[in-house]
Amino acid sequence: MMTFAVLGGFLLNVGAFLTYKGRIYQAVIVYLFADICWIVMAYEKNDYLGSFFIITGTTFGFLAYLKMKKGQMNKSLNKEDNDI
């Protein structure tokens, strides 16, 4: 039986595969859809605190996607290596 947890987990695997292949923008979109599945799942179980934290994380993920799309993300984890 396909539940929102199963669908979210499947999308998580697809996102991880896309990340492995270097297709970061597509992976982030897939991760956001997985998050939506988990929001619905938490809401159906009346886990409103869980829903809040998932929505907060999804919002930050979407903002990070927009920042990446605009080219404003740091290119390296080392601050001195970044030219932005």
Closest CA relative to residue 61, chosen from 24, 18, 23, 32: 32
Tell me whether residue 79 is in a domain.
no
pTM more than 0.85: no
| Position 33 in a domain | yes
In total, how many domains does the chain have? 1
- Is residue 15 situated within a structural domain? yes
pLDDT tens per residue, range 21-35 = 988 888 888 998 998
Sort 62 into a burial class: Cβ within 10 Å, 0-12 / 13-18 / 19+: middle
Mean pLDDT of the chain: 84
21 located within any domain: yes
> 67: domain range?
4-71
CB neighbours (10 Å) of residue 11?
A: 20
67: in domain: yes
Residue 40 lies in a domain: yes
| 84 is a domain residue | no
In a domain, 45, yes or no: yes
